[in-house]
Amino acid sequence: MQVFEFHFNPKAKTDVIFESFCYEPENVYEKRMGSLYMLGFLKNTLPQNARFLDGLARAIKEKYYKSVSATPEKSLKESLRIANDYLEKIAKGGDVSWLGNLSFAVVSFKNSELNFTKIGDIKIFLLRQGQIIDIDNKLKFDEIEPYPLKIFGNIVSGKLAAEDTVVIATKDPASIFLSEGILARIANILPFEQKKLKDILNTKKDQLLKISGSCLIINLSQESLSKEKETISQPKRIFQFPKIKLPTLKFPSFKPPQIKVRIPKPKIFTPQFKFPLPKISLKIPKPQLPEIKIKSFCVGKNTILLLVLVFFLLVGYFIFEKSEEKQLENYQDQLNQIQEKVNQAESYLILSGENSQAEETANTMLKESWQEIDFLFGIASSFPLDLSGQVLELRETIAESLYQLNNFVEIPGPELVFEFDIKGFIPHRMVAGDGNLYFYSPYVENIFNLAGNNENEIIQTSRAIDLAILSDDSIWFFSKPGTLLNFEDNQIKESFELEEPSSEFSFSSLATYRSSLYFLDTKNDRIVKYPYQRDFEWRDPELWLSSANRKAIDGRSMAVDGSIWILSKNNAIKEYYAGALQETLDTAIFPEPESLSKIFTSPQLSYLYLLEPIQNRIIILNKSSQVVKQFYSEKFDNLLDFAVSKDGKTIWLLNGLKVYKILL
C-alpha cells in the first residue's frame, strides 16, 4: 500500500485548519485492525479550536486500536461512538462553534477490506482502471440531533482490488481534481508510481496554489512504500547558511610493542617402587572350532527383476509425490485467483443502490466465482486440511453474498392457513378468486372451496378437473378432453364443449387473455388458441405460433399477459408475441434452478412467479428477468401448486396437504 498526503496552502486562510492523520499498527495485536486514516477540515475557527482536529483524531485512534478482539468494522463503529461522546462533551462545555463547520472522514484498511464514514464536505473517490466512482454517495445522513449529540453515523464496508486507488479530499481539492481532470489522469496510472503522481500534480501547480485544503491518496499496490507527506504552498525566500568544510585530521597509527614471557615447564618426579612377583604358569587348551561350510550365493534373474521393479516403484512414488505437490500448488493458485475476483466483486457492491450496473457486475462475478469454487469444493476432501478449510470458507463467503444479491429470504415458520384431512379431500392444484381459494384434482371429482369467511365446503362436480384459470370475476375449469365449466357464486353455471384440435393433443396449461383461451399442448409442442366469439362461445381452435416458431417451445408451463410466457423444460423463459419469439430471458438466478414446474403472471401483475419444488422455493422476477424475491422454507418440502392475489401482494402455496401464505 502506498499513501500520499498533500496539504495545499495551509496558511492561506487564518480561520481554517485542516490536517491528515495516518496510523499504522505498531504491534502484532494492532495488526488485526489494520491501518487507520483520517482527514479533517474546520472552518470559521476560534483560537480555542487550534487542537480540535488533533483531539478528535486521537480519541478515535485510541479506541480503534484498543478493541483488538473485534473486527475492523465493529471497532470503527465503537470508535465513532467514542467520537460522538467526545464531541458531545465539548458541546456541553460551551464550545459549539464547530457545529456546522466540521468536515471529517475516517477510513480503515485491513488487507483489501475497506470501512469508512464521513461528515461534511469531504469527498471519497474510488479509482479503478480509468473509472472514477464517488463511493461516499452510499452514506445516508440524518439531521444532527442536538442532545445527545450524534455526528458520526453510518459506516460503508466493502472490499477493494489490487491497484485500486482511494482519494479522500476536502472540498476545494476535490472540486479542482474533478474539474481539471486530475482524478481522471490518476485513475489511468498503471502501475501506480510516485513519480507519475507528482508529475500530474505539477502540471496543475498554478491551479493548486490557489486553493486551500488537503487530500490523502491511497493506492492498494503490491509494492510497500513509506508514507509521503508534501505541502504545496506559495514559494518563500529562505536564507541558507554557507556550507563550511572542516579539515580532515589524521593521526599516525600507534602499534604497541609485543612482549614475550617464557614460563619454564615444571618437572614432576614420581617415585618408583619395585615388588617381586611370583611366576605363574597356566596352560589353556586350544579349542577346536566346528567346521562351517558356506554355500556360494548366486543372484538369479528373478531377484534382479524384483530389484528393478522396486526401483521403478520408488521412482514412480517420488514422481507421483512431486506431481501431487505441483497439483496442490495449482489448486492454491486457482483459489487465490477466485479470492481476487471475489474481492473485486465485493468492491463493486460499494456502489450498489445508486448504480444498478455495478450490482449486476458484482452478481455476475460472484456467480462465476461460485462455479469455480464449486469445482474445488468437489475435490477438497483430497486436499490438506488448511487448503480444504480455505476452500470451504471462501465458498461460504461467496454464497452469503449471492444469497443477499439474489434477494433470498428464508422463512423458518411460514404462516399455515389450512391443513386438509388425509381421509377427506386430497388436493393437487389450486386457483384463487373472489377472496376464496379453490382446490381440485385431475384424479378425483369435486372442488374444495377454502372460503375467506371460514365457511369451507365441497362443491360437487360430475367430473375431475384438470386445469383452471381466473377470468374477470369468474373461474373457468377445464376437464379433459374438451369440457369448459363456467364457475360463479360457488357453483357451476354452464358447461361448453370445445372443438378438439385435428390431431392428438395433451393440454397441460391454460391461460386467458381478452376472453380468448390459450392451451399449451405439450404432446405436440405447440400453443392452441380458441378465439372468443360472444356469449361464452369460442371459434374453432387455431395454432397460435407462426410456422417458423412451431415445435420449438419445449414448454412445461405457460402464462399470458398480452405476451405469452413459456417456461421450458430446461428452465428457460421465452417470451412470444404475435406468434413469434421475442426473447429468451437470461434467468441468472442463484441458486441455479434445477427444475422449475410452473410460471404465472397476468395483465394486472408486474412480475413473473416461478415455482421450484426441488429447492423448496418460489421465485419472483420482474419482466426483465431481475430477481425481486425468493422465498424458501424447509417446510416447503412438497410444493404442488400456488396462487397469487389480484394485486400480487399475497401468495398461497399448496404444500402436500398444507396451505401456506406469504405476504410481499
Domain assignment present for 288: no
Phi, psi of 48 (to 5 degrees): -75, -5
Clarify whether residues 107 and 214 are in a common domain. yes
Residues 599 and 571 in one domain: yes
Q: Is 143 helix (H, G, I), strand (E, B) or coil?
A: coil
Query: CA 347 → CA 38, 275, 351, 352, 489, distances in Å?
Result: 21, 102, 8, 10, 57
Per-residue pLDDT at 240 exceeds 50 = no
How many domains is the chain built from? 3
Rounded to whole angstroms, the Cα distance separating 2 from 123 reads 19
pLDDT tens-place string over residues 356-379: 677 888 888 999 999 899 888 888
What is the pLDDT, as a whole number, of residue 243? Answer: 40
Assigned domain for 289 exists: no
User: Is 563 part of a structural domain of the chain?
Assistant: yes
What's the confidence (pLDDT) of residue 576? 93
| Domain co-membership, 365 together with 437 | no
* Least-confidence region, from 101-110, 271-280, 430-439, 591-600: 271-280
Q: Are 517 and 541 in contact (CB under 8 A)?
A: no
Confidence label for 354 from pLDDT (cuts 50, 70 and 90): low
For residues 613 and 580, state if they share a domain.
yes
On the question of pLDDT at 106 being above 50, the answer is yes
657: alpha, beta or left? (left if phi > 0; alpha if psi -120 to 50): alpha
Confidence band, pLDDT 50/70/90 cuts, at residue 249? very low
Q: Check whether residue 419 and residue 399 sit in a common domain.
A: no
Q: Secondary structure of the chain: what % helix, strand, coil (to 5)?
A: 25, 30, 40
C-alpha atoms less than 13 angstroms from C-alpha of 281 in its C-beta half-sphere:
0
CATH number at residue 31: 3.60.40.10
Which whole-number Å values give the CA distances from 624 to 8, 557, 648, in the listed order?
49, 19, 17
CATH of the domain at 473: 2.120.10.30
Asked whether residue 368 falls in the same domain as residue 453, the answer is: no
Q: Does residue 257 belong to any structural domain of this protein? A: no
Which of 176, 199, 232 terminates a domain? The answer is 232
Last residue of a domain, one of 216, 232, 248: 232
On the question of pLDDT at 385 being above 60, the answer is yes
pLDDT, position 314: 76
Q: Tens digit of pLDDT for each residue in 632-650?
A: 999 999 999 999 999 999 9
Instruction: For residue 156, give the C-alpha cell.
Output: 460503508
User: Quick check: helix, strand or coil at residue 13?
Assistant: coil
Q: Which helix (H) or strand (E) holds 194?
A: helix 194-203
Would you place residue 550 in the very low, low, confident or very high pLDDT band (cuts 50, 70, 90)?
low
Is 6:201 a contact under the CB 8 Å cutoff?
yes
Same domain, 401 and 419: no
Indicate whether 610 belongs to any domain. yes
Are residues 447 and 587 part of one domain?
yes
Whether the Cβ atoms of residue 2 and residue 192 lie closer than 8 Å to each other:
yes
Cβ–Cβ under 8 Å, residues 10 and 231: yes
Cα separation, 619 vs 569, whole angstroms: 17
Among 152-161, 325-334, 514-523, name the most confident range: 514-523
For residue 213, pLDDT over 50 is answered with yes
Q: What is the pLDDT of residues 473-531, one digit of tens each?
A: 789 999 998 899 988 888 888 889 999 887 788 899 999 998 999 999 988 889 999 99
Confidence of residue 14 (pLDDT cuts 50, 70, 90): confident
CA dist., res. 72 & res. 78, Å (int): 10
**Is position 227 within any domain?**
yes
Q: Is residue 244 part of a domain?
A: no
Average model confidence (pLDDT) across the chain: 82
In angstroms, the CA 57 to CA 306 distance is 77
Which of 257-261, 399-403, 575-579 is the least confident region? 257-261
Same domain, 353 and 424: no
Among residues 232, 262, 284, the one where a domain terminates is 232
> Do 372 and 456 fall within a single domain?
no
Comparing 234 with 443, the larger pLDDT belongs to: 443
Specify the pLDDT at position 229.
63
Residue 410 in domain: no
Does residue 245 carry a pLDDT above 60?
no
- Judged against a pLDDT cut of 90, whether residue 541 lies above it is answered with yes
Q: Looking at residue 413, what is its pLDDT?
A: 94
CA distance linking residue 183 with residue 635, whole number of Å:
54
Residues 333 and 453 reside in one and the same domain: no
pTM above 0.75, yes or no: no
Beginning with the edge strand found earlier in the chain, give each strand of the sheet holding 650-655 in spatial order.
415-419, 658-663, 650-655, 639-644
Instruction: Tell me what pLDDT residue 321 has.
Output: 61
Distance separating alpha carbons of residues 56 and 65, to the nearest angstrom:
15
Longest dimension (CA), the chain: 154
Residues 513 and 397 occupy one common structural domain: no
Q: Give me the domain span that covers residue 397.
A: 326-405
- pLDDT of res. 250: 41
